[in-house]
Amino acid sequence: MIMVIFMVTVLGIEDPQIWLAYILCVGSALWCVFYGLKHWNDDD
């Protein structure tokens, strides 16, 4: 319930199935950036 209220406040979307998809999209894109930076100089 707290999560739903938080997401409605932050994103203006009530349906958890939608805000979860939204958060996962942004989160996975950001994860890619962090992963790429962290492993930039990895040995093969």
Interface residues with another protein (CB under 8 A) are 9-15, 17-18, 21-22, 24-26, 28-33, 35-37, 39-44
The pair of structure tokens assigned to 30 is 């950001």
Of the pair 5, 26, the CB lying nearest another protein is at 26
Q: How far is the CB of 17 from another protein (least distance, A)?
A: 4
In terms of CB distance, is 1 or 37 closer to another protein? 37
Helix H, strand E, coil C: the string for 6-41 is HHHHHHCCCCHHHHHHHHHHHHHHHHHHHHHHHCCC
